[in-house]
Chains A and B, each alone.
Chain A
Amino acid sequence: MRTTLLAGTVAAVLFATGVAAQGSRDRNAYFGDLHVHTKLSFDAYIFNVRATPDDAYRYAKGESIHHASGYDVRLTDAPLDFLAVTDHSEYLGIIPAMNDPKHPLSKLPYAPDLFSTDRDKINAAFQKIGASLRSGQYLPELKDPDTSRSAWRTIIDSADRNYVPGKFTTFRGYEYTSAPDGQNLHRNVIFAGARAPDLPFTALESQNPEQLWRWMDQQRKQGIEALAIPHNSNGSDGRMFQRTQFDGRPMDRSYAELRMRNEPLAEITQVKGTSETHPSLSPNDEWSSFEIMDTYIGSATKVTKFAGGYVRDALKSGLEFDQAQGFNPYHFGFTGSSDTHNAAGSFEENRYFSKVGILDGKPEQRGSVPPAGSTWDNYEPKNNAARYQTWGTAGLTGVWAEENTRESIFAALRRKETFATSGTRMRVRFFAGYELPDGLEKRHDMVSQSYAHGVAMGADLLQRGTRAPRFLAWALRDPHSGWLQRVQIVKGWVEDGKAQERVFDVACSDGLTPDSTTHRCGDNGATVDLRTCAVSENKGAVELRALWSDPTFDPRQRAFYYVRVLENPSCRWSTWDAIRAGVEPNPKLAKTIQERAWSSPIWYVPQR
Chain B
Amino acid sequence: MNFLRAAVREPLLHFILIGALLFAVTALRQKHSEHAEIRITAGEVTQLAAFWETQAQRKPTAEELRGLIEERIDEEVLAREAVRLGLDRDDVIVRRRLAQKMAFVSDDLAVVAEPAEDALREYFNAHRETYTTPDLYALRHVYFNPDRHTTLDADAERALQRLARGANADNVGDPFMLPRELADVSRDDIARDFGSSFADAVTGSTPGSWSGPVRSPFGVHLVKLESHTPSSTANFEDVRDQVREAYLAEKQRDANAALRTKLRQQYKIVVEPAESPGS
Of A100, A124, A141, A427, the residue contacting B10 (CB under 8 A) is A124
Asked whether, in the complex, the Cβ of A113 is within 8 Å of the Cβ of B47, the reply is no
Asked whether, in the complex, the Cβ of B101 is within 8 Å of the Cβ of A101, the reply is yes
Asked whether, in the complex, the Cβ of A442 is within 8 Å of the Cβ of B175, the reply is yes
Of A79, A117, A120, A543, the residue contacting B192 (CB under 8 A) is A79
- CB-CB < 8 A to A463: which residues of B? none
A24 at the interface (CB under 8 A from B): yes
Chain A interface size, as a band, is 35 or more
Shortest CB–CB separation between residue B265 and chain A, in angstroms?
A: 25
Of A115, A118, A141, A443, the residue contacting B175 (CB under 8 A) is A443
Shortest CB–CB separation between residue A317 and chain B, in angstroms?
A: 34
Asked whether, in the complex, the Cβ of A116 is within 8 Å of the Cβ of B93, the reply is yes
- CB-CB < 8 A to B6: which residues of A? 124
A102-110, A297-305, A336-344, A570-578: which one contacts chain B?
A102-110
Interface residues of A in 275-315 (CB under 8 A from B): none
A477 at the interface (CB under 8 A from B): yes
Asked whether, in the complex, the Cβ of B218 is within 8 Å of the Cβ of A112, the reply is no
Knowing A102-B104, A477-B218, A479-B217 are in contact, say whether A28-B19 is a contact too (CB < 8 A): no
Asked whether, in the complex, the Cβ of A139 is within 8 Å of the Cβ of B97, the reply is no
Query: Number of B residues whose C-beta is below 8 Å from A?
Result: 40
Asked whether, in the complex, the Cβ of A141 is within 8 Å of the Cβ of B193, the reply is no
- CB-CB < 8 A to B48: which residues of A? 109
Chain A proximity mask over B55-85: 1 for CB below 8 Å, otherwise 0: 0000000000000000000000000000000
Knowing A124-B10, A139-B54, A479-B194 are in contact, say whether A109-B47 is a contact too (CB < 8 A): yes
How far is it, in angstroms, between the C-alpha of A140 and the C-alpha of B96 when the chains are bound? 29
- CB-CB < 8 A to A121: which residues of B? 11, 15
Asked whether, in the complex, the Cβ of B96 is within 8 Å of the Cβ of A117, the reply is yes
Asked whether, in the complex, the Cβ of B54 is within 8 Å of the Cβ of A141, the reply is yes
- CB-CB < 8 A to A480: which residues of B? 195, 217
How far is it, in angstroms, between the C-alpha of A442 and the C-alpha of B175 when the chains are bound? 7
Chain A proximity mask over B82-99: 1 for CB below 8 Å, otherwise 0: 000000000001001100
Asked whether, in the complex, the Cβ of B218 is within 8 Å of the Cβ of A141, the reply is no
Chain B proximity mask over A464-477: 1 for CB below 8 Å, otherwise 0: 00000000001011
Knowing A28-B179, A111-B19 are in contact, say whether A444-B171 is a contact too (CB < 8 A): yes
Shortest CB–CB separation between residue A421 and chain B, in angstroms?
A: 14
Chain B proximity mask over A428-467: 1 for CB below 8 Å, otherwise 0: 0100000000000111101000000000000000000000
Asked whether, in the complex, the Cβ of B175 is within 8 Å of the Cβ of A542, the reply is no
A78 at the interface (CB under 8 A from B): yes
- CB-CB < 8 A to B126: which residues of A? none
Asked whether, in the complex, the Cβ of A110 is within 8 Å of the Cβ of B50, the reply is no
- CB-CB < 8 A to B177: which residues of A? 29, 427, 429, 474, 476, 543
Interface residues of B in 161-179 (CB under 8 A from A): 170-171, 175-179
B51 at the interface (CB under 8 A from A): yes
B219 at the interface (CB under 8 A from A): yes
How far is it, in angstroms, between the C-alpha of A116 and the C-alpha of B14 when the chains are bound? 12
How far is it, in angstroms, between the C-alpha of A117 and the C-alpha of B15 when the chains are bound? 13
A198 at the interface (CB under 8 A from B): no
A77 at the interface (CB under 8 A from B): yes
Q: Which partner residue on chain A sits nearest B19 by CB separation?
A: A112
Knowing A100-B104, A117-B96 are in contact, say whether A24-B192 is a contact too (CB < 8 A): no
Shortest CB–CB separation between residue B279 and chain A, in angstroms?
A: 14
How far is it, in angstroms, between the C-alpha of A116 and the C-alpha of B96 when the chains are bound? 9
Of B15, B192, B193, the residue contacting A110 (CB under 8 A) is B15
B105 at the interface (CB under 8 A from A): yes
Interface residues of A in 114-132 (CB under 8 A from B): 115-118, 120-121, 124
Asked whether, in the complex, the Cβ of A141 is within 8 Å of the Cβ of B15, the reply is no
Of A101, A102, A107, A476, the residue contacting B47 (CB under 8 A) is A107
Of B11, B93, B179, B217, the residue contacting A24 (CB under 8 A) is B179
How far is it, in angstroms, between the C-alpha of A117 and the C-alpha of B146 when the chains are bound? 54
A541 at the interface (CB under 8 A from B): yes
- CB-CB < 8 A to A543: which residues of B? 145, 147, 177, 218
- CB-CB < 8 A to A441: which residues of B? 175
Interface residues of A in 6-40 (CB under 8 A from B): 24, 28-29
Asked whether, in the complex, the Cβ of B192 is within 8 Å of the Cβ of A140, the reply is no
Asked whether, in the complex, the Cβ of B175 is within 8 Å of the Cβ of A446, the reply is yes
How far is it, in angstroms, between the C-alpha of A441 and the C-alpha of B177 when the chains are bound? 11
B227 at the interface (CB under 8 A from A): no
- CB-CB < 8 A to A476: which residues of B? 176-178, 218
How far is it, in angstroms, between the C-alpha of A509 and the C-alpha of B217 when the chains are bound? 16
Of B18, B147, B175, B176, the residue contacting A112 (CB under 8 A) is B18
- CB-CB < 8 A to B147: which residues of A? 509, 541-543
Shortest CB–CB separation between residue A439 and chain B, in angstroms?
A: 11
Of B11, B96, B176, B192, the residue contacting A113 (CB under 8 A) is B11
How far is it, in angstroms, between the C-alpha of A48 and the C-alpha of B151 when the chains are bound? 57
Asked whether, in the complex, the Cβ of B47 is within 8 Å of the Cβ of A141, the reply is yes
- CB-CB < 8 A to A77: which residues of B? 192
Chain A proximity mask over B29-56: 1 for CB below 8 Å, otherwise 0: 0000000000000000001101101100
Chain B proximity mask over A133-153: 1 for CB below 8 Å, otherwise 0: 000000111000000000000
Asked whether, in the complex, the Cβ of B54 is within 8 Å of the Cβ of A479, the reply is no
With a 10 A CB-CB cut-off, give which of B51, B53, B193, B219 has the most chain A CB atoms. Answer: B193
Shortest CB–CB separation between residue A131 and chain B, in angstroms?
A: 8
Of A113, A115, A124, A542, the residue contacting B146 (CB under 8 A) is A542
Shortest CB–CB separation between residue B134 and chain A, in angstroms?
A: 12
Q: Which partner residue on chain B sits nearest A79 by CB separation?
A: B192
Asked whether, in the complex, the Cβ of A78 is within 8 Å of the Cβ of B192, the reply is yes
How far is it, in angstroms, between the C-alpha of A118 and the C-alpha of B6 when the chains are bound? 17
With a 10 A CB-CB cut-off, give which of B11, B53, B176, B216 has the most chain A CB atoms. Answer: B11
B12 at the interface (CB under 8 A from A): yes
- CB-CB < 8 A to A112: which residues of B? 15, 18-19, 22, 93, 97
Closest 5 CB pairs of A and B: A479-B217, A78-B192, A476-B177, A113-B15, A141-B50
Instruction: Write the residues of chain A forming the contact surface with B, with a CB cutoff of 8 angstroms.
Output: 24, 28-29, 77-79, 99-102, 107-113, 115-118, 120-121, 124, 139-141, 427, 429, 441-444, 446, 474, 476-477, 479-480, 509, 541-543, 545
Instruction: Write the residues of chain B forming the contact surface with A, with a CB cutoff of 8 angstroms.
Output: 6, 10-12, 15-16, 18-19, 22, 47-48, 50-51, 53-54, 93, 96-97, 100-101, 104-105, 145-147, 170-171, 175-179, 192-195, 216-219
User: Can you sample 22 A-B contacts with CB below 8 Å?
Assistant: A78-B193, A99-B100, A101-B104, A102-B104, A108-B51, A110-B12, A111-B19, A112-B93, A112-B97, A113-B10, A113-B12, A116-B93, A117-B93, A121-B11, A141-B54, A444-B170, A476-B177, A479-B193, A479-B218, A541-B147, A542-B218, A543-B218
Please give 9 more A-B residue pairs, beta carbons under 8 A apart, in addition to A28-B179, A112-B97, A121-B15.
A108-B47, A109-B19, A115-B100, A116-B11, A141-B47, A476-B218, A477-B218, A541-B147, A542-B217
